[in-house]
Structure 1
Amino acid sequence: MAAPEQIPGQEFEYEALPSNYGLGANMLAGAFAGIAEHSVMYPVDLLKTRMQILHPANGGLYTGLTNAVSTIYRIEGWRTLWKGVSSVIVGAGPAHAVYFGTYEIVKDLAGGNVDDGHHPFAAALSGASATIASDALMNPFDVIKQRMQVHGSIHKTIFQCARTVYRTEGLHAFYVSYPTTLCMTIPFTATQFMAYESISKVMNPRGDYDPFTHCIAGGLAGAVAAGITTPLDVIKTLLQTRGLAQDQEIRSAKGLFNAAAIIKRQFGWGGFLRGLRPRIISTMPSTAICWTSYEMAKAYFKGQMGDN
């Protein structure tokens, strides 16, 4: 079937969901975006995790981002920067499929696609809903990833790591950080989606497919959200890596408030900002890649459906 004839003077409504554009296409676009984002930015994510560890093993203490890169390269080799990447590749595809599928459904139900106006509430609500659904799937993979990223980790594969964690700490270990993760990702995602929609409206008021707009808006939105939620990310990292900690108090951390109290007692308020720079540095291009990839895949699927 030929593409529908465009009325002169009428722009293609890129953001509007056509009747033949189903959930499956949204989820495929989301899976593509998630794998692209996490694969490209994985080394920086590893650096962030290493710098957030409160009591690292010998050789795992770094004075800054540059020192971390040079030390890891010199002592462990460049391959270490990709250790655990298989975990996020396996988990990111399905998790981001659920993430963006939920985002589009809730955004549509909340009235975010009604007209060309600005709908920050719909964007924030859809973002919060998306992260609740996707984090339930991604959290175990995130635990495995961070266990493999830690300096001196004995884990070689995701399956061996998963078996070890389950056998020694039980199923609970995969979800002990889930409440903290949600406390971080809900405000992070709500802020990011609201900022993304707002910046996009300013840069591209007609809502056309524009890779430059998606890239810049995604990067700026991610930077703002990352800076605000770094303290919660430090707490999450402590909980997800507690099984490898040498400090007994950290090994016995029970949850969000107990972990926060440990950080405050041992490192002061500055402890909540550990890894701030690599988090922002990794999040800006990460969200830029994610949104650009997602919007590109979404535009491709819409184009294909328009041609059928």
Structure 2
Amino acid sequence: MATKLPIIISTADGSSSSAAVAMKSESSLTPVQRLMSSCIGATVTALCVTPLDVVKTRIQAQQKESLMNNNNNQSSVRQSTTNTRPIGSAGGVGNGRQFGQTFKMFIKMSRTEGLTSLWSGLPPTLAMVIPGMGVYFTSYDLFRVHLNKQFGYINRYQPLWVPIVAGSVARTLAAVIISPLEMIKTKMQSQLFTYGELALALRHMIRVQGYRSLWTGITATILRDAPFSSIYWAVYETMKQHAFGSPVEPTVPVSFICGASAGTVAAIVTHPFDVVKTHRQIEMGSTSGGGASGVYRTSALLAHIYRETGARGVFTGITPRLMRVAPACAIMISTFELGKTYCRQYNDSKLT
């Protein structure tokens, strides 16, 4: 039997209104109002958490370089029968503790590259997250309301599968649209690229591999983002409506706690695909093409990383990602819900 989440709206005196009023409150929001709420939330979130995203990407880039060096060393061993250094020794992933420790990476980047390096790729990040989150959150909200109407769940209950399906479809749509911008952002964060160097790399990649290469890593991105979205919205809606008994218009603290918790759970489950995506996108514009990710499909690359570095390897960068995802989800959903609340109040004021 499907788990059902009650949809309730509390009136000013604390009593519960009818489901019809609840649906009217949801339907009163226009797509433009939803879009505005999500875009404002995306801007605030990007400015706050970009440094954590940069650190996560840099740590995963160090892991990729170590895997490439290890593969080259193993080839030399077969030719010269000389023992190679195991991963974890100096220069390997294990020695990347100076990079593997999140705060050490912050300090190192600030000292050696300047404080502004922590916001590397901010312009493409803003160019990506504003339309991306706009499409994502607006689509999710519209899909969710449509499914509730289509299957007759507006009378009282919203089953758990509704946020799962709506979240997955909305996130897949957004991922396809913004994948080229995310690749540019990842490349800029993994190394200190000027815009001129990045443009050259892009032209070289398109000339050699075609325009489809702009969607390099899209499979790993969807494998990461679609399940992430399904898990996130399932946990968020469950906590919001069950654990906190929150109405359709939750308070900011409720949204913040539910968003951070849902984001943490979803990030842990889907992080291995984030590692694979980063490995593939870092190779964008590479002339060598000899990286480990260049010769493996997503599942095979994940298995390769696991064989070389163990479970710790497939969760490389999990600490900075959690430090980024939890507050990002909390800030984004809180701003989004707050924006929708103001829009509902505005709509109601026009009717009175």
TM-score by length of 1: 0.87
Of the structure 1 ranges 218-227 and 151-160, higher mean CA displacement relative to structure 2 is found in: 151-160
Matched, 1:98 2:138: no
> 1:143 is matched with which residue: 183, 186, 189?
183
| Residue deviations 1:225-254 (CA, integer Å, cap 9, x gap) | 001111111011111112377882336245
Number of the residue aligned with 2:325? 283
SS in structure 2 of the partner of residue 138 of structure 1 = helix
Q: Which runs of 5+ in 1 are unaligned?
A: 1-5
**Pairwise CA distance, 1:306:** 1.4
Amino acid corresponding to residue 212 of structure 1 in structure 2: P
* Contact persistence 1:96–1:134 (CA under 8 A): yes
Amino acid corresponding to residue 189 of structure 1 in structure 2: S
Matched, 1:220 2:261: yes
Amino acid corresponding to residue 284 of structure 2 in structure 1: G
Number of the residue aligned with 2:237? 197
Of the structure 1 ranges 74-83 and 94-103, higher mean CA displacement relative to structure 2 is found in: 94-103
Q: Which has the larger radius of gyration?
A: 2
SS in structure 2 of the partner of residue 114 of structure 1 = coil
Number of the residue aligned with 2:30? 22
Matched, 1:233 2:274: yes
**Pairwise CA distance, 1:50:** 0.7
Matched, 1:86 2:123: yes
SS in structure 1 of the partner of residue 280 of structure 2 = helix
* Contact persistence 1:147–1:241 (CA under 8 A): yes
Residues in 2 aligned to 1:249 and 1:147: alpha-carbon distance in whole angstroms: 15
SS in structure 2 of the partner of residue 243 of structure 1 = coil
SS in structure 1 of the partner of residue 157 of structure 2 = coil
**Pairwise CA distance, 1:119:** 2.6
Matched, 1:134 2:180: no
Matched, 1:73 2:113: no
Cα–Cα, structure 1 residues 252 and 158, in superposed 2: closer, same or farther, change >3 Å? closer
Matched, 1:207 2:248: yes
Cα–Cα, structure 1 residues 144 and 7, in superposed 2: closer, same or farther, change >3 Å? closer
**Pairwise CA distance, 1:37:** 1.7
Q: Which runs of 5+ in 2 are unaligned?
A: 1-10, 67-90
Amino acid corresponding to residue 100 of structure 1 in structure 2: F
Residues in 2 aligned to 1:23 and 1:123: alpha-carbon distance in whole angstroms: 18
* Contact persistence 1:128–1:190 (CA under 8 A): yes
**Pairwise CA distance, 1:180:** 1.1
| Residue deviations 1:128-176 (CA, integer Å, cap 9, x gap) | 0110111111211110011000134354697676556545654233212
Cα–Cα, structure 1 residues 7 and 295, in superposed 2: closer, same or farther, change >3 Å? closer
Percent identical among aligned pairs is 20
Number of the residue aligned with 1:3? none
Cα–Cα, structure 1 residues 28 and 161, in superposed 2: closer, same or farther, change >3 Å? farther
* Contact persistence 2:102–2:320 (CA under 8 A): yes
* Contact persistence 1:14–1:208 (CA under 8 A): no
Of the structure 1 ranges 234-243 and 164-173, higher mean CA displacement relative to structure 2 is found in: 164-173
Of the structure 1 ranges 152-161 and 87-96, higher mean CA displacement relative to structure 2 is found in: 152-161
> 2:290 is matched with which residue: 243, 248, 257?
248
* Contact persistence 2:143–2:166 (CA under 8 A): yes
TM-score by length of 2: 0.77
Cα–Cα, structure 1 residues 277 and 244, in superposed 2: closer, same or farther, change >3 Å? farther
Cα–Cα, structure 1 residues 254 and 219, in superposed 2: closer, same or farther, change >3 Å? same
* Contact persistence 2:168–2:226 (CA under 8 A): yes
